[in-house]
């Protein structure tokens, strides 16, 4: 396929249709004009040949009646026609060679011109064109005439100037009319094409508006539909419009079913988490009570009680996390108070230093870090930091370096948690913030049995820590992202800054 053909395929449909229409009209106009002009010229030439034969016969008869040698026209014969010539040759001698041009002026043909005519002239049954010097092309025919025992050759020619002029006039007329017709057809055709493609334009505009509708979560209602005039089943465009409306109906129904299922699941998780809190508290209480009497029970039973207590505590933390996620999903409002992020970061790093002394913890604060404030829930933001730091501690080998940075960029506060561990696999990065997603052996897992009660509730291995962090950050109007490669893993949290006090009140500022 040529470059032009490939470029033509990338043109808009409207331009392609109009271009194809104009090209077809141009070809048809050229074909009709060419055939018409050729046929008209052939007709004029045939008529001229008929006149030429009649004139030749008249000259021959007139020459025979004119006396010996065939000299002179018959009495009463019409005068010579404008744009014609007659040549009479008897026994090799030129008896007459006169040419009358279009203005009526008579010219004597030279001996060279006569010789050329005598050599190239045809017969009456087959006239043909001969160029007579400065006088232009002529249709020429010749005949033999005999009188008084002698023979002579009569050559008669009619000028083709009129035929050529008529042909030129027809060509100009066809060119002007054809050009006007193509321009008019292009304008009308372009308007009709635009008119016919308006339903497609409305379809494209509707599809563009639907494409900007958030469909990933929440209750979705698609109000966009094509009007009744664009869904006529009798036209191809109407069939596409009807199929598009039907597709939107199916998509809207599917999204509503999905939302209802998610709401039902969230409600179930919330109810189950709420109901499990009491029995887990009872199990934990009885386990602690039994542990106080561990000296009076066998060692194996004491170890079992210890494991029961540990798993009950872990399960209690998981239930609390599920309940928190269910509340955040349902749109529960968090506290909205001024929060100094520097204090939150310092506290979280201090806790991480206690729970992970085998790691190197680095805190990087700018000179203006103490002035960075956001509006939100300090406890929940602290939980985000604890989850990120716990993730770095649990999934990196001992002696790893973990750096925490707090900066300000535009209208956003930025918290970065970076470690120099083995990194997160690419296939896991895409779903790291999903629930119950656990890492694999690419990041070393260090037991967390020494973690105190202040550690984050999502214990290692549950796969809820990153989901909770994202839910809390999203509830504060921020974002959390990840960039990881072997030797460097960075979680970046962006939160909108709080505006300075105006009139004793604080307002949230968004960038």
Strand-pair partners of 415: 406, 493
Euclidean distance between CA atoms 381 and 61, whole angstroms:
125
Kindly state the average pLDDT of the residues 145-165.
78
Q: How many of the other CB atoms lie within 10 Å of CB of 269?
A: 17
| 250 has a pLDDT exceeding 60 | yes
Which tokens is 98 given? 């006169």
Which tokens is 352 given? 């991480």
Helices (H), 330-457: 341-355, 378-394, 426-429
Residue (of 257, 260, 273) closest to 326 by Cα position: 273
> 51 with 169: CB under 8 angstroms?
no
What percent of the chain has pLDDT above 70? 82
> 63 with 152: CB under 8 angstroms?
yes
| 107 has a pLDDT exceeding 90 | no
Between 1-5, 31-35, 490-494, the lowest mean confidence (pLDDT) is in 1-5
Euclidean distance between CA atoms 458 and 455, whole angstroms:
9
Helices (H), 359-454: 378-394, 426-429
DSSP letter at 508?
Answer: B
Return the SS3 of 213.
coil
Task: Return all residues near 117 (Cβ < 8 A) that are at least 6 apart.
Answer: 87, 109, 130, 132, 140, 155, 157
| Kind plus residue range of the DSSP H or E element containing 261 | helix 236-292
Between 34-38, 279-283, 358-362, 488-492, the lowest mean confidence (pLDDT) is in 279-283
Q: How many of the other CB atoms lie within 10 Å of CB of 194?
A: 13
| 217 has a pLDDT exceeding 70 | no
Angle between helical axes of 465-475 and 378-394 (0-180°, round to 10):
150
CATH 3.40.50.2300 fits 336-496, yes or no: no
CA torsion sign, 436 to 441 to 443 to 444? positive
Q: What is the pTM of this model?
A: 0.49
User: Which carries the bigger pLDDT value, residue 171 or residue 87?
Assistant: 171
Determine the pLDDT at residue 506: 38
Return the SS3 of 505.
strand
- The full 3-state SS of 430-471, as one line of letters, equals CCCCCCCCCCCCCCCCCCCCCCCCCCCCCCCCCCCHHHHHHH
Residue (of 469, 299, 498, 294) closest to 386 by Cα position: 469
The domain segmentation of the chain, as residue ranges, is 15-167, 213-332, 336-496
Angle at 79 between CA 76 and CA 85, to 5 degrees: 135
Residue (of 385, 423, 422, 421) closest to 404 by Cα position: 385
Between 30-44, 259-273, 397-411, 474-488, the lowest mean confidence (pLDDT) is in 259-273
Q: Which long-range contacts (CB under 8 A, 24 or more apart) does 96-101 make?
A: 96/71, 99/132, 99/135, 101/135, 101/159
> 56 with 143: CB under 8 angstroms?
yes
Q: Which long-range contacts (CB under 8 A, 24 or more apart) does 442-445 make?
A: 443/395, 443/396, 444/395, 444/396, 444/397, 445/394, 445/395
Largest CA distance in the chain: 168
Q: How confident is the model at residue 240 (pLDDT cuts 50, 70, 90)?
A: confident
Residue (of 466, 456, 396, 457) closest to 436 by Cα position: 466
Q: How many of the other CB atoms lie within 10 Å of CB of 442?
A: 14
> What CATH class is the domain 213-332?
mainly alpha
User: Which carries the bigger pLDDT value, residue 446 or residue 186?
Assistant: 186
Return the SS3 of 392.
helix
Task: Return all residues near 350 (Cβ < 8 A) that are at least 6 apart.
Answer: none
Encode pLDDT of 293-338 as tens digits: 666 677 777 788 788 877 877 777 777 777 777 777 776 677 888 9
């Amino acid at each position: 396929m040529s470059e032009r053909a490939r470029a033509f395929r990338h043109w808009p449909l409207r331009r392609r249709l109009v271009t194809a229409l104009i090209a077809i009209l141009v070809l048809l106009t050229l074909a009709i004009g060419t055939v018409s002009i050729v046929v008209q010229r052939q007709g004029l030439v045939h008529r001229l040949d008929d006149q030429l034969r009649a004139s030749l016969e008249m000259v021959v008869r007139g020459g025979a009646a004119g006396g010996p040698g065939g000299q002179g026209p018959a009495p009463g014969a019409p005068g010579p026609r404008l744009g014609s010539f007659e040549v009479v040759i008897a026994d090799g001698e030129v008896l007459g060679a006169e040419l009358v041009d279009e203005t009526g002026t008579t010219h004597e043909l030279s001996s060279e011109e006569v010789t050329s005519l005598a050599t190239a002239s045809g017969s009456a049954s087959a006239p043909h064109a001969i160029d007579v010097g400065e006088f232009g092309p002529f249709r020429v025919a010749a005949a033999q005439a005999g009188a008084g025992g002698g023979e002579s050759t009569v050559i008669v020619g009619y000028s083709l100037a009129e035929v050529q002029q008529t042909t030129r006039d027809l060509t100009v007329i066809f060119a002007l009319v054809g050009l006007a017709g193509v321009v008019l057809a292009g304008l009308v055709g372009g308007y009709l094409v635009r008119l016919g493609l308006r339903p497609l334009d409305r379809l494209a505009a509707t599809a563009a508006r639907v494409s900007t509708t958030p469909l990933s979560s929440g209750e979705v209602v698609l109000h966009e539909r094509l009007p009744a005039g664009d869904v006529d089943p009798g036209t191809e465009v109407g069939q596409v419009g009807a199929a598009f409306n039907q597709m939107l109906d199916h998509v809207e129904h599917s999204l509503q079913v999905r939302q209802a299922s998610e709401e039902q699941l969230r409600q179930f998780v919330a109810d189950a988490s709420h109901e499990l809190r009491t029995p887990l508290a009872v199990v934990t209480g009885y386990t602690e009570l039994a542990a106080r009497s561990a000296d009076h029970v066998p060692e194996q039973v004491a170890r079992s009680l210890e494991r029961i207590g540990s798993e009950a505590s872990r399960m209690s933390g998981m239930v609390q996390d599920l309940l928190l996620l269910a509340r955040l999903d349902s749109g529960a409002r968090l506290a909205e108070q001024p929060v100094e992020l520097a204090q939150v970061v310092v506290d979280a790093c201090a806790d991480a230093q206690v729970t992970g002394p085998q790691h190197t913890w680095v805190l990087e604060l700018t000179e203006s870090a103490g002035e960075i404030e956001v509006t939100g829930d300090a406890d929940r933001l602290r939980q985000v930091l604890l989850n990120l730091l716990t993730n770095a501690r649990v999934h990196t080998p001992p002696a790893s370096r973990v750096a925490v940075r707090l900066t300000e960029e535009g209208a956003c506060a930025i918290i970065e948690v970076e470690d120099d561990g083995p990194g997160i696999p690419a296939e896991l990065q895409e779903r790291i913030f999903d629930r119950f997603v656990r890492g694999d052996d690419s990041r070393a897992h260090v037991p967390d049995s020494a973690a105190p009660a202040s550690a984050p509730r999502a214990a290692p291995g549950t796969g809820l820590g990153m989901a909770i962090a994202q839910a809390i950050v999203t509830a504060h109007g921020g974002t959390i992202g990840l960039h990881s490669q072997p030797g460097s893993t960075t979680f970046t949290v962006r939160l909108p800054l709080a505006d300075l006090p105006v009139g004793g009140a604080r307002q949230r500022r968004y960038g």
